[in-house]
Structure 1
Amino acid sequence: MTHFLDDLATLARDTPDAVALRWFGGRDGARVREEVTFAGLAERVERTASGLRAQGMEPGDRVLFSIRPRPEGVVLCLAILRACGAVVFVDPGSTPELFAARIAAARPRWAATEALLYAASSGPLRGVARSRGLLLPDYGRLPVRHLYSGRWLPGVPRGARRAARVLADDVLPAVALPAAPSGADGGADGGSPDGGDPALIVFTSGTTAEPKAVVHTADTLGGMLGLFAQVGGLRAGQRAHTDQMFLGLPAVLSGGTWEIPARAPKDAPEAFARGVAGADSSFLVPADVTALLDVLEARGADGSPVGSPAAGPAVGPAVLAVGAAPVTVALLERGRRVLPGTRWIAVYGATEILPAAMTDADEKIAAAAGSGTAASAGSDGGSDGGAPGDLVGRPLGGIGVRIDTAVVGLDEDLPEAGAEGDAAAGTDTDAGAPGDGPAVGELVLTGPSLMAGYLADLDAGKPRVTEHRTGDLAYQDEDGRIVLVGRNRDMIIRGTVNIYPGLFEPRLRDLPGVGDAVMVGVPMPDGDERVVLVVTAEHAAGEGAPRDSAEPRGKGVPWVRAGTDLARSVADQVARVLDHGALPDLVVEASHVPLAGRSRKPDRHALVGLVSPLAGTVRA
């Protein structure tokens, strides 16, 4: 069985002196700090993998990984995979209890951590981190073997080895990948069965009792990288300027150069704008796109203010893929206006199977115009009056699509199925071969990048999954394109974080003085969401206005206010009970929570409308 990193060895032999990694830095982020050739990268990965094995890393060992994309970190990550270890991503900003639960679930034997993170979690910078709301765990006290990147800082535990120095003089023989279990299912395209131990573990959600993590193997990672190569149209000699590994690595394995910005785009948009200009491809989340466009609109191509005689059209990459959150028509229209020479692509997928489908700006905007809405599309763009929704595009090669119409979705908000659709029976449709009508149901996906399963299930001995139920309600139009029309479970997407309100609301309701608590996501023009926590007063839920309000009580449309005593009190306490990634942007108090549907659930749609003005956003 081949490993996707075998392609790196081939490139090192065929194009040894070509640049594989280019890392930028300096005060303005424009200076090249380090370049690594294909020959150098392959050698460092193999020698580091041998060094890890020589120090005791065994196949299946799990490595807690907290290093930003840098050549040193990229080499270490690939070396862990080459040594048949598993890279474990855990958000260090989660609550201490949840972090501990995730570590207990992952059972890592190693930790690979930036020296700065050790210093911020146990050294002199701990107070600074706490002042910024980060209750970082004490990495140095974890009972694991420690590797660190960067220069040594106070807080790095005694005995820790710097990653750049874990190099064996002699490359040890590679460890053979385990064979796939007998009878394992192949991908949707009939390819080779998935095999191997876990290679990547990503914690996505869950509670302290049941932390949830997605598990990928070397094979499914290889499938993922191959699909991203389709998205970017990657070829040898191209430049991919991005801080996202899932586009950077495919670029390298395609024979191109992964250009790594000095800082994340949202943190240094000016530097990113300079670096990405003229690149062949890039990948951004919607919030980063907004930061980039803000910078580009504030100046001309030569740095002149927009509107001045010298100002010209801004320059971007040839292809800019946007994903990890909903991509709105408004964002694509703005992007196309600011960077008219760039091909804008919207990518759809999930951590469990990524990427799955794509569409470009022209197609998505045309579909929305045809349906008569700002962000929807009918079965052929809407001209036949088909069910409205959000066009996410055609499935990528190898992705299988099934629309399960037997799923019971949103009570009142589901559009009706097409005239020939049957809402009472499940339908199976292959990508590119839609059924007779736009029957709406839960979108179910298969393909070469499908995860092996969830960590708790696999560790309990359960079989690998054969499909992923996305939770998205969708249909396929007559061209085989996927159109989303809603969700059959609540989820908020902010940045790259999926927030499931139902996991956190019970803990919020236990806070002093709180009667009810509902988290909602307020859509923003760029497709991101602002998280708003709505609370009601204890003993007053459903019976009136906020306690310090002079407004009349009643059970009609709720009164919603920010800055009340209760709202301020809850805002001061949420960091104790929520992940850092789930902290609300705003806490408000409501007189009561409106209900809707046959099940009388909280009417989140109504709440979004009520809190949007307070959140300072325009509702999509």
Structure 2
Amino acid sequence: MTTDFLERLAMQADRIPDASALGTVGERALTYRELVDTVDRVAYNLGAAGFLPGDRMLFSIRPSVASVTLIFGVIAAGGTIVFVDPGVGPSLFAQRVKLVDPAWAATESLLYAVSGPLAGFGRRRGLSLPRFGALDVRHIHSGPWLPGTPAGSIPLRRFTGAAAGAANVPADPEAAALIVFTSGTTDEPKAVVHTRASLGAGLAAMSGRTSLAPGAFLHTEQLMMGLPALMAGARWAMPPYPRFGTHIDPVRFTQGLHSATHAFYTPADLAVALDALESGEISAPAYLRQVALGGAPVTSALLRRARKSLPSTEFLAIYGMTEILPVAVTNDVAKLAHEGDLLGAPVPGVVARIADDGELVLAGPNLCRGYLGDDPLSEVRTGDLARWDGDQLVLTGRKKDMMIRGKTNIYPGLYEPVITAIDGVREAIMIGIPDEIGDERVVLAVVTDPDAGDVAALLRTRLPQIIDTTAVPDDIVSVDRIPVSGRTNKPDRAALRELLRERLT
């Protein structure tokens, strides 16, 4: 049986109580004993304030030591954290709130201000925010009190203060712990529900897949990478956010690694960091042993660049989805040695099968309970097309990215890794631009290395020799960058399609 992740954290506190556990870059970290004691205080103080087991808390606070201890405390008190992005717009936000029916909301006081009395300031910065202060819930605010903060809102710092006892809420492995929205419209928002058991299973599945261990030092703001570090007895440090920013600058993040041995990047952020390293703008971190990559496809071209700039660092490509994480892990050596888009062998416990149409279908103890309001899931269809190579999974495409040319279905994921393996190509994305009869013009957008020459001409010569002739693009267009979207900066094919449609008309 998988040990609950809070129980595993308590076990580390008993084993290495004085080891550094959680902190912010440049500041003293909480020890494992201090971290567990703080979580206990938060859970107790939540109960004293009226928080009940089963209560759901909307969560819109940027990662910090205080926000992580609040997340842990809510789960320890038997509640559920609901991660919600305020940038989705008021309509979709309202539908998501209606679906989850929260009793509490934890929000940065700055959001109360720029969605309330300073809404004009927010709009000038391109923000269209819901009115957090108008939510009919109990409020907790992070940061100093600002105009727009509800009068009854409780400062977050009160929950981390001294407490007279322990919460003593029995751990229920099937209790909902996290709710994360993945996609959907205002008519049908989609919320993934993870239990304490599925979270614990996911953390157990990461064990042995990274070199995190006591003495390791991880830099990341990502909760789902920081948790494995704590479970392994390592130190987790979070980079500070800019005062008004919602994203960590990859260049400043890399500059701040200093004595870090481990780090996490999305592929898009690593590419920005590599630009700075290659130009000499910043120096390579001296102690970085391992970098985990996730949230978007990891291309061979990116890995080749990364190994050139950071030759002493191992790179892990983590494949997963919000519903089940992790699924498979491979490293740069294995991925670059494989001709296809290697995902690796499924992690222990994950059961993978290939459906008749080639779609990858997954199950396992780290699978979420399901989608809020729907029946429980026994397996999840990924939307990815894959094949087996021995016991290794190889990605071959994406169902929803499929293009149609005549009677031929074209899956971009089958060809993009092959194209990015060509010298001079950094990124390659294939999209289809529909014509008036429902067929699609296949367009290849490439980001090239500086001084690489006429890569488009090279590709026009090479591609008919190395990919299916039915998939050879009609147009090859060089772009400065591939648009990205979402929390993990995935390639935004819709935005790219509009960009290229304008350039080709």
If the length of structure 1 is used for normalisation, what is the TM-score? 0.65
1:469 to 354, 377, 381: 381
Matched, 1:42 2:36: yes
Q: How does 1:34-433 map onto structure 2 within 5 Å? A: 34-124=28-118, 126-166=119-159, 167=161, 169-178=163-172, 195-263=173-241, 267-299=248-280, 303=283, 315=286, 317-368=288-339, 377=340, 390-405=341-356, 407=357
Structure 1: which amino acid aligns with 2:345? R
Specify the code of the residue in structure 1 equivalent to 2:197: D
Q: Which amino acid aligns with 1:18?
A: A
Distance across 1 between alignment mates of 2:98 and 2:431: 29
Give CA deviations for 1:552-587 in whole Å, capped at 9, x if unaligned: xxxxx999x9xxxxxxxxxxxxxxxx99x9997987
Report the alpha carbon displacement of residue 93 of structure 1 after superposing the two structures with TM. 0.8
Shift in Å, 1:241: 0.9
Q: What CA RMSD, in Å, does the superposition of the two structures yield over aligned residues?
A: 3.5
Structure 1 segments, 4+ long, off by >6 Å, are 520-532, 581-588, 612-615
Question: Distance between the aligned counterparts of 2:226 and 2:311, measured in 1?
Answer: 24
Which residues in structure 2 correspond to 1:443-454 (within 5 Å)? 443-454=360-371
| d(CA) in 2 for partners of 1:527, 1:448 | 35
Letter of the 1:51 counterpart: N
Tell me, yes or no, if the aligned pair for 2:47 and 2:167 is still in contact at 8 Å. Answer: no
Contact 2:296 2:490 in 1 (8 A): no
Task: Indicate if the aligned counterparts of 2:239 and 2:248 stay in contact, CA closer than 8 A.
Answer: no
Structure 1 residues 281 and 530: alpha-carbon distance in aligned structure 2, compared to 1, 3 A threshold = farther
The 1:115–1:614 alpha-carbon spacing in structure 2 relative to 1, beyond 3 Å, is farther
Secondary structure in structure 2 of the residue aligned to 1:134: coil
Q: 1:130 to 1:3 in 2, by over 3 A?
A: same
Structure 2 partner of 1:483: 394
Q: Partners of 1:110 and 1:68 in 2: how far apart?
A: 17
Separation in structure 2 between the aligned mates of residue 231 and residue 101 of structure 1, nearest angstrom? 38
User: Is the 1:269–1:295 contact (alpha carbons within 8 Å) kept by the matching residues of 2?
Assistant: no
Is contact 1:48–1:168 with CA below 8 Å preserved after alignment? no
Work out whether residues 223 and 449 of structure 1, in 8 Å CA contact, stay in contact via their aligned partners in 2: yes
Q: Helix, strand or coil: the match of 1:231?
A: coil
> Closer, same or farther in 2 for the Cα pair 1:456/1:528, shift >3 Å?
farther
What secondary structure sits across from 2:58 in the alignment?
strand
1:457-536 pair list within 5 angstroms: 457=374, 462=375, 464-478=376-390, 480-490=391-401
- C-alpha contact (below 8 Å) 1:229/1:251 kept by paired residues: no
Whole-angstrom distance in 1 between the partners of 2:31 and 2:124: 41
8 A contact 2:139–2:154 mirrored in 1? yes
Tell me how far 1:298 sits from its aligned partner: 2.3
8 A contact 1:319–1:343 mirrored in 2:
yes
CA deviations over 1:506-562 (Å, ceiling 9, x no partner): xxxxxxxxxxxxxx9998966697999x799xxxx669xxxxxxxxxxxxx999x9x
Name the SS for the 1:59 alignment partner.
coil
**Separation in 2, partners of 1:92, 1:140:** 13
| Corresponding letter in the other structure for 1:400 | V
Which structure is larger by alpha-carbon Rg, 1 or 2?
1
Report the Cα distance in structure 1 between the residues aligned to 2:250 and 2:399, rounded to whole angstroms: 36
Shift of 1:157: 1.0
Kept in 2, the 8 Å contact 1:315–1:339? The answer is no
Structure 1 residues 69-91: Cα deviation after superposition (integer angstroms, max 9, x where no partner) = 11110110100111111110121
Do the aligned residues in 2 keep the contact of 1:238 with 1:280 (CA within 8 Å)? yes
CA contact (8 A) 2:265 2:294 kept: yes
Aligned equivalents of 1:97, 1:583: Cα separation in 2: 25
SS in 2 for 1:456: coil
Gapped regions of structure 1 (runs ≥ 5): 25-31, 179-194, 304-312, 369-376, 378-389, 408-440, 493-519, 544-556, 562-577, 589-606, 616-620
Contact 1:293 1:338 in 2 (8 A): yes
Alpha-carbon shift at residue 99 of structure 1 (Å): 0.8
Q: Secondary structure at the match of 2:305?
A: helix
Within 1, Cα distance between the matches of 2:201 and 2:491?
34
Equivalent position SS for 2:360? strand
- Please give the TM-score of this superposition, normalised by the length of structure 2: 0.79
Partner in structure 2 of residue 10 of structure 1? 11
Q: Secondary structure at the match of 1:155?
A: coil
Give the 3-state SS of the residue equivalent to 1:5 in structure 2: helix
Relative to structure 1, the CA distance from residue 13 to residue 610 in structure 2 (aligned partners, 3 Å threshold; closer, same or farther) is closer
The change in CA–CA distance for 1:614 and 1:75 in structure 2 (over 3 A counts) is: farther
Percentage identity across paired residues of the two chains: 42
**Are 1:238 and 1:257, in contact at CA under 8 Å, matched by a contact in 2?**
yes
Give SS of 1:122's match.
Answer: coil
Read off the aligned partner of 1:334 and give its amino acid letter: R
Aligned partners of 2:16 and 2:88: how far apart in 1?
A: 43
**Equivalent-residue separation in structure 2 for 1:96 and 1:201 (angstroms):** 19
Secondary structure of 1:290's aligned partner? helix
CA–CA distance in structure 2, aligned partners of residues 583 and 136 of structure 1: 25
What SS does the corresponding residue of 1:364 show, helix, strand or coil? helix
Whether contact under 8 Å (2:294, 2:318) holds in the other structure is yes
Q: Is the contact between residue 76 and residue 171 of structure 2 (CA under 8 Å) also seen in structure 1?
A: no
The number of aligned residues is 441
For 2:273 and 2:60, the matched residues in 1 are separated by 26
Larger helix share, 1 or 2: 2
State the match for 1:511 in structure 2.
none
Shift of the 153–608 alpha-carbon distance from structure 1 to 2, 3 Å rule, reads: closer
